[in-house]
């Protein structure tokens, strides 16, 4: 790749900040907290017949309650894996294909792998690709430029990291 453009530097900088917040919350996250469900429980991972799964909500209304940390981390792997597969892979993944991790260490490993893949993509993207719509299949159906998809990914990561932090505050306050 040639010299980084200001746009790519900005995307990379935003990603770095989002990643730092996520890492702050992941570093000390333990299994009990990962599996914990708020008294105001909303979205969570479930086991049925020996298989773990997660569902996307039909609505994002506040009444659905606080998502669990496990569900939020699954959600990160969901949209990230979908972006990577649909934009840079075969484009065949569906929600049901995204692994739901019962164990916190397993999901941490998966997320660190996704971070590495994303950093490799950002390190190799060309200026032409930044403005191309060819790499924005999920969730934008090639209607936005790649730099907009990358910015969305940064925002989604920051939002999900903040949700994990909120759930950790709630968890800690229930343990007082």
Nearest alpha-carbon partner for 125 in 19, 10, 22: 10
* 44-70 confidence digits (pLDDT tens): 999 888 899 898 888 888 888 889 999
pTM comes to 0.93
Domains of the chain: 6-174 (1.20.120)
Q: How far is CA 42 from CA 8, 31, 46, 101, 129, in A?
A: 36, 19, 12, 18, 38
12-39 confidence digits (pLDDT tens) = 999 999 999 999 999 999 999 999 998 8
Task: State which H helix or E strand residue 48 sits in.
Answer: strand 46-48
CA distance 49 to 143: 40
Question: What burial letters (b/e) apply to 40-65, b meaning 16+ CB within 10 Å?
Answer: eebbbbeeeeeeeebeeeeeeeeeee
């Amino acid at each position: 790749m040639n010299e980084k453009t200001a746009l790519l530097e900005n995307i990379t900088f935003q990603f770095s900040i989002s990643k730092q917040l996520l890492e702050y919350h992941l570093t000390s996250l333990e299994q009990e907290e990962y599996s914990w469900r708020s008294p105001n429980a909303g979205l969570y991972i479930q086991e049925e017949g020996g298989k773990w799964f997660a569902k996307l909500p039909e609505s994002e209304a506040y009444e659905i309650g606080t998502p669990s940390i496990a569900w939020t981390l699954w959600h990160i792997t969901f949209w990230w894996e979908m972006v990577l597969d649909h934009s840079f892979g075969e484009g065949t993944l569906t929600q049901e294909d995204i692994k739901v991790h019962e164990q916190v260490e397993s999901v941490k490993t998966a997320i660190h792998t996704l971070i590495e893949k994303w950093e490799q993509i950002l390190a190799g993207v060309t200026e032409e690709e930044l403005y191309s719509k060819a790499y924005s299949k999920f969730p934008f159906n090639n209607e936005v430029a790649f730099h907009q998809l990358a910015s969305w990914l940064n925002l989604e990561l920051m939002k999900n990291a903040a949700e994990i932090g909120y759930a950790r505050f709630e968890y800690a306050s229930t343990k007082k």
